[in-house]
Amino acid sequence: MKNIKYKILIGFLITFQLSSFIGVAQECIDFENPGSINNWKGNQGFNIANLSVISSSGTNTTNHLYFEDRSGSSMAINEVDFNGDWTIKAKDGCLCFDYRVNWNSSNATNKTGPNFIIYRIDPGQNLSNINNFADWGNFAVNGNYSGLFAYFVPNPSNPTIPKNQWNKYCLPINSNNNNLPSNTYGTWSVRQSIPGSGSTPNSVVTLSGSAALIAWNSLITNVGGLNLPADYHGNPNEEVSFDNFCWNCSGEPDPNPDPQLCCDIPDLQVKLINKTNIGGSISLNISGISTPIQNIEVSMVDYHVTYENDLCKPANLGIFGNISSPNNTVSGLVLTDNGTQSISWNPGTPGVFNGNIKLNITKPNILNLPCCNGKMYFCLKVKITDVNCNVCEKIVCGSLDLLTKTLQQHDPKDVPVDLDPTNPIGTPIPFPNEPKPIGHLNPSDVFNPITGEIWMNTNLGASQVATSSTDAAAYGDLYQWGRLTDGHEKRTSSTTTTLSSSDVPGHGNFILHPNLPGPLTWNSPQNINLWQGVNGINNPCPSGYRIPTDGELAAERLSWTTPDAAGAFASPLKWTLAGNRSYVNGQIINVGLKGSYWSSYTNGAMSSYMYFNSGGSSPSNNYQTADGASVRCIKN
């Protein structure tokens, strides 16, 4: 009989109520309790049959989840056991499970891994849960409801799934080097469902680059449900079995192994506590000691400093990374080497000690500027020797905020430090989750720390940074896609119905195209190879800046607190509802109601823009190049 297994995760006080430390138990779902089927949907409306907890012959003879495919697409859904923040549930970066599929054909499937989808439907819509296959189609196929979902993409180099055999699969969760999570089993494809507005149709977009990574981080920290599609073969009646869903990387190599530590004191526990914000004092909490100790040694394994803005980094960082303690004695042991990178309490009168040792760690300097912040990540090795010469070593890691002096405890795998004892302390190392360095900021620049991008802080043609989403002085000009700055972009410019025969019209009139057939452009012949890149033809942005790609606009939109006009203005970029200009008659429309911002992307004869209003937004919409819309330049 299997038992429910737990992985105890020690969390820091900001994760939990008050300032206490508690263990968080993440259980494996092993279906030994038949009631564990209660949170699964499938027998009604999802084209599957016999969704149940059963036992069967084979490698895994214990209880497991089982369901059968029927004609058409079919799936099992769970919106209870798998929702929430997977970065907390799966602390070491994986979800592993046992899996088996059988089918009524002699032909092998071409799939090399399991069908596995996670999703989240955005709140505030008519659809809040997936209750049947039609709901899933309206969300993930038709784009009727906004949200995110991610398909697991098995590694095509792996063997195809064997018929009617149990296998273990471990799916990656943590992003790596600014890429979507991946391991030997495969990676993920992230998609966004975007309802249309007006003449803009619904769409489901496969995201890439930074937009995909930002969407993944948004989804994985707030998963709404799990979808297990049953279609593995061209023939129906597949039989699918799952078991032992465990939030760990069993069998996966540790990407950042701890140094070789020994511990002959089995009950010893060490953790960091932020006892007070004053001066950044922290404490080591030591417990589990029952035998008198003769030595405590605390040494800095490594540290690493990040600044959110290079302007915040002073020329002289000062002396930092040293450890000191006001506790001159600990249970009869006497402090030595105070103020260095390795301090110790040595024999005076050995005694049993369980409690807190107060520490101070010197921090690097940071310039006193309103936009400045930074962190010092560090790892300490705590070595304790008892009077019987038993030795135990523990690694504890954390980060100190350079401004607030507050402490956060981290798992050693999650901090940008080098635990290799052969490397010098403080050696610069790469770290995938470190904020993107932003370089020099001009007075007209604004930095979004979530996307890591620098933008101009106003629309082209605006006279000031927006004070509200309807600040007329911050609206700026309205450009026809692909045109240079020649006066046509001004809201009061004259109009003409004569199409330009070149990419440079040679005048400042807004060119109308009121009649079909399309494409509805300002130039004939049309040229869609304009505005791409910093050296793009007719790039209207200042030197060193360019029109953003649709992916960059999508990433910016995903960084907003809400996907609408309020979230757009709350962004560091302070987007405005500047309206647009009609290619039919040249009228300025939607002012104060809608923001439309060009990207460099084209789709056939159509260009693309991001729009938002009080009710929602969309990062990429096809539109006529003759239309007039806002331009916000991004730094190259």
Q: How many CB atoms lie within 10 A of CB 508?
A: 14
* Residue 393 is assigned to a structural domain of this protein: yes
Contact 380, 361 (CB under 8 A): no
The answer to whether 274 and 406 have CB atoms below 8 angstroms apart is yes
* 83 and 195 housed in the same domain: yes
Residue 258 located in a structural domain: no
Does the structure show a pLDDT above 70 at 236?
A: no
**CATH number of the domain where residue 405 is located:** 2.60.40
Between strands 64-69 and 117-121, the pairing is: unpaired
Q: How many helices (H) and strands (E) does the chain have?
A: 5, 39
What share of the chain in percent tops pLDDT 90? 27
Q: Are residues 477 and 619 in the same domain?
A: yes
DSSP notation for 304-345: EEEESSGGGS-S---S-S-EE-S-SEETTEEEESTTBSEEEE
Give the residue-averaged pLDDT of 340-364.
86
429 within domain boundaries: no
Characterise 438 by phi-psi region: left (phi > 0), alpha (psi -120 to 50), beta (else). alpha
CA–CA separation, 589 vs 583, rounded Å?
11
**In a shared domain, residues 240 and 277:** no
Distances (CA, A) of 501 to 334, 531, 536: 87, 18, 19
Same domain, 314 and 230: no
Are the beta carbons of 350 and 333 closer than 8 angstroms? yes
**Does residue 36 sit in the same domain as residue 111?**
yes
Same domain, 216 and 152: yes
> Structural domain tally of the chain?
3
Of the residues 414, 429, 456, the one at which a domain ends: 414
Parent domain of 478: 445-635
Q: How far is CA 519 from CA 226, 405, 621, in A?
A: 43, 59, 16
Asked if residue 165 has pLDDT above 60, the reply is: yes
**CA–CA separation, 280 and 144 (whole Å):** 50
Could you tell me if 221 and 160 lie in one domain? yes
Q: Is the peptide bond before 525 cis (omega within 30 degrees of 0)?
A: yes
| Within a domain: 57 | yes
Q: Is residue 440 part of a domain?
A: no
Q: Do 142 and 276 fall within a single domain?
A: no
Tell me which of 428 and 190 has the higher pLDDT. Answer: 190
Phi-psi map region of 332: left, alpha, beta (phi>0 left; psi -120 to 50 alpha):
left
Q: What is the dihedral of CA 109, 148, 180, 8, to 10 degrees?
A: -90
pLDDT of residue 455: 92
Same-domain status, 216 and 273: no
Does 368 share its domain with 500? no
Supply the pTM of this predicted model: 0.46
Position 86 in a domain: yes
Same domain, yes or no: 172 and 309: no
For the cut 80, the answer to whether the pLDDT of residue 61 exceeds it is: no
Can you point out the beta strands (E) in 439-520? 445-448, 453-456, 479-480, 495-496, 510-511
Bridge partner residues of 270 (DSSP): 286
Same domain for 221 and 99: yes
Q: Is position 452 within any domain?
A: yes
Give the pLDDT band (50/70/90) at residue 439. Answer: very low
Supply the CATH number for residue 225's domain.
2.60.120
Domain boundary among 180, 212, 246: 246
Give the end of a domain, one of 370, 399, 414: 414
Say whether 270 sits in a helix, a strand or coil.
strand
> Is residue 260 in some structural domain?
no
> How confident is the model at residue 103, as a pLDDT?
79
